[in-house]
Structure 1
Amino acid sequence: MDEEASVADVVVDVNGAPITIGSNVRYINTDTIGEITEIKTDDEGTWALLDTTELYYRVDTLQITDKKASAGKEYAISEEEMKERIKRQAEDAQSTTLEEVFQATGGG
């Protein structure tokens, strides 16, 4: 039976600080940081949904923090660019001789 935590329910973190939707929290087991987007209660406890992982965490494993999750840099590459990179790597590998790979340097 999932149900939204009502306003009358006081939801607190591991230290007893109140948690609400929009709170920035840290998951104490992995230091994951995120903003709470949903709070719900079921037979196993009260859970908060973090925006950064899209996972629910028990509120007693969360800690209010001033830190905000940093936005990761997205890097997209087109299929054509990927094919070109693979082609160049294959050409580079074919142009390398065994002598170049196993070239001994130094005295001896």
Structure 2
Amino acid sequence: MNEVPETVDIDGKPINVGSNVRYINTDTIGVIEEIMTDDEGTWALLDTTQLYYRINTLQITEKVSSKGKEHVLTEEETKELLKARSEAGQEKVEEVFQATGGG
């Protein structure tokens, strides 16, 4: 495989390493990490899947993938989440006792 300095996406727009693209068949979004060519065509490696895609199936996009980005809960969000889960758990316990209680 040989590196290709510059090529174009499905719409004819310049596409390079670092371009934010969408794979048109599955709407997979990612940033191009590498562009290579071989006897079968030109391929781009996406950061989100670590897979190569044919350049003619990619489209430049403004959408950004959120893969690998984590939301860190604040202390308040953590407390609210724990409270909600605790209340939901208590409701389940009460349902079990009502369903199995006999007289």
* Amino acid aligned to 1:68: V
Residue 44 of structure 2, aligned match among 41, 44, 48: 48
Counterparts of 1:4 and 1:49, CA distance in 2: 12
Counterparts of 1:4 and 1:15, CA distance in 2: 21
State yes or no: 1:27 paired with 2:23: yes
Q: What is the root-mean-square deviation in Å for CA atoms of aligned residues? A: 2.3
Higher strand fraction: Structure 1 or Structure 2? 2
Counterparts of 1:17 and 1:64, CA distance in 2: 7
Deviation string for 1:49-70 (max 9, x for gaps)?
0000000000000000011111
Deviation string for 1:17-70 (max 9, x for gaps)?
110000000000000000000000000000000000000000000000011111
- The Cα shift of 1:73 comes to 4.0
State the structure with more CA Rg.
1
State yes or no: 1:36 paired with 2:32: yes
Identity of aligned residues (%): 64
Counterparts of 2:66 and 2:3, CA distance in 1: 28
Partner of 1:65: 61
* Amino acid aligned to 1:19: I
TM-score by length of 2: 0.65
Question: Alignment length, in residue pairs?
Answer: 77
* Amino acid aligned to 1:54: Q
Q: Which runs of 5+ in 1 are unaligned?
A: 75-99, 104-108
Segments of 4+ in structure 1 off by > 2 A? 71-74
Partner of 1:89: none
Q: Which runs of 5+ in 2 are unaligned?
A: 72-95
